[in-house]
Chains A and B, each alone.
Chain A
Amino acid sequence: MTSYIFRRLLSATPTLLGVTLAVFMFVHVLPGDPARLMAGIQATEEAVQLVRSSLGLDKPLWVQYGIYFNDLIHGSLGISNRDAAAVSTHLAQAFGPTLFLTLAAMVVAIAIGLAAGIIAAVSHGRFLDLWTTSLAMFGISLPSFVLALALIWIFGVDLRWFPTGGDQGVASLVLPALTLGAGAAATIARISRSEMLEVLAQDYIRMAQAKGHRLRAIVLRHALPNTLISVVTVIGLHFGFLISGAIIVETVFAWPGLGRLLIDSIAFRDYPMIQGVVLVFALEFVAVNLLVDVLYARIDPRIRYH
Chain B
Amino acid sequence: MWSAAVSRLVRRSPAGVIGLAIVVAMILIAAIGPQFAPYPPDAPDYAHARQGPSASHLGGTDDFGRDIFSRVLYGARISMTVGFLGVVIGLIPGAVLGLTAGYYGRWFDELVMRVIDVLLAFPGILLAIAMVAVLGPGLSNIVIAIGFFGIPVYTRLVRGATLQAKEQVYVEAVRAQGAASRRILFRHILPNIVAPIIVISTLQIAAAILTESALSFLGLGAPPPTPEWGAILTNAKDDLATLPYMAVFPGAALVLTVLGFNLLGDGLRDLLDPRMKT
Interface residues of A (CB under 8 A from B): 14-15, 18-19, 21-22, 26-27, 30-32, 37, 137-138, 140-146, 149-150, 152-153, 157, 190-191, 194, 240-241, 243-244, 247-248, 251-252, 262-263, 266-267, 269, 271, 274, 278, 281-282, 285-286
Contact = CB atoms under 8 A, between A and B. Distances in A.
A148 to B, nearest CB: 9
A286 B254 CA distance: 31
Contacts of B126: 243-244, 247, 278, 281-282
Contact of B121 (A19, A146, A190): A19
Contacts of B247: 146, 149-150, 153
B43 to A, nearest CB: 26
Given A146-B254, A251-B218, A274-B133, A137 B259 contact: yes
A145 B236 CA distance: 12
A281 B122 contact: yes
Contacts of B210: 143
A22 B122 contact: yes
Contact of B133 (A150, A152, A266): A266
Nearest to B15: A137
Contacts, number: 124
Contact of A18 (B114, B135, B266, B278): B114
Contact of A157 (B114, B134, B240, B254): B240
B17 to A, nearest CB: 14
A138 B130 CA distance: 29
B272 to A, nearest CB: 18
21 contacts: A14-B114, A15-B117, A18-B114, A27-B134, A32-B134, A37-B134, A141-B259, A142-B255, A142-B258, A143-B214, A146-B251, A149-B233, A152-B240, A153-B240, A153-B244, A157-B244, A240-B123, A244-B126, A266-B133, A282-B122, A285-B122
Contacts of B134: 26-27, 30, 32, 37, 271
Contacts of B119: 22
Give the 5 A-B residue pairs with the shortest CB-CB distance, closest first: A18-B118, A141-B259, A240-B123, A244-B125, A244-B123
Name A's interface SS.
helix
B206 A248 contact: no
B230 interface: yes
Contact of A190 (B130, B263, B278): B278
Contact of B123 (A37, A142, A241, A251): A241
Given A18-B121, A26-B134, A282-B122, 13 more contacts: A141-B255, A141-B262, A143-B210, A149-B240, A149-B251, A150-B251, A153-B247, A157-B241, A240-B124, A244-B126, A248-B218, A251-B218, A282-B121
Contacts of B132: 266
A251 B97 CA distance: 36
B133 A194 contact: no
Contacts of A281: 122-123, 126
A44 B219 CA distance: 28
B165 to A, nearest CB: 25
B258 A143 contact: yes
Interface in B204-249: 206, 210, 213-214, 217-220, 230, 233, 236-237, 240-241, 244, 247
